[in-house]
Amino acid sequence: MPALRPEEIEDAYRRHGHSVLRRARRLLGNEHDATETLHEVFIDLLERPEQFEKRSSLVTWLYAATTHRCLNRLRNGRTRARLLEEQHAPAHEASPAGKVESMLELRRLLGSVSEEMAQAAVYHHMDELTQDEIAAVMGCSRRHVGHLLERLRARACDAVGRP
């Protein structure tokens, strides 16, 4: 199949850029990083349009590519340091402190586990996809998704010192 043409990518940016930005904002919790991620996803698609192999819809591909980029940012040392700094700074958030701390913990955990485990976690806990839906998006078995989520749960419990 032929790769996407630049005008198709431009149209996708206009139609789906807001969804990519919203996803990045939710995962990263930072407008600047979310905007950079939006631009990186589409620049990468412009530079290498063949990476979209049309095995799924473009929206599904953008969703997965954005998740992947965000998880890489969370693993990045500068991002991790900024998140730690924000956690120790006085909270000026409108949301309850517990919710802010939970999101920081989640981002820290996502930055410390394998890419595959982090993807399963995001799809399950943030996007509320079923294990069957996650398996379809990730291209693996439902059983494998279950194992990933169970290992993640054990890792999260270890991180907070709970059984």
pLDDT tens, residue by residue, 15-72: 999 999 999 999 988 899 999 999 999 999 999 999 888 888 899 899 999 999 998 8
pLDDT tens, residue by residue, 112-163: 889 899 999 888 888 888 999 898 888 899 999 999 999 988 888 877 665 5
CATH for 113-163?
1.10.10
pTM of the shown model: 0.67
Nearest 5°: the CA angle 55, 149, 155 is: 135
Report the distance separating Cα 47 and Cα 21, nearest Å. Answer: 20
**Closest residue by Cα to residue 38 from 75, 8, 12, 74:** 12
Give the right CATH number for 1-94 from 3.40.50.1980, 3.40.50.620, 1.10.1740.10, 1.10.8.60.
1.10.1740.10
Its sign, for the CA torsion 30, 31, 33, 38, is positive
Q: Which long-range contacts (CB under 8 A, 24 or more apart) does 122-128 make?
A: 122/27, 122/67, 122/71, 123/67, 124/149, 126/26, 126/27
Q: What is the pLDDT of residue 36?
A: 95
Q: How confident is the model at residue 79 (pLDDT cuts 50, 70, 90)?
A: low
Report the distance separating Cα 135 and Cα 45, nearest Å. Answer: 24
What are the sequence ranges of the domains in the chain?
A: 1-94, 113-163
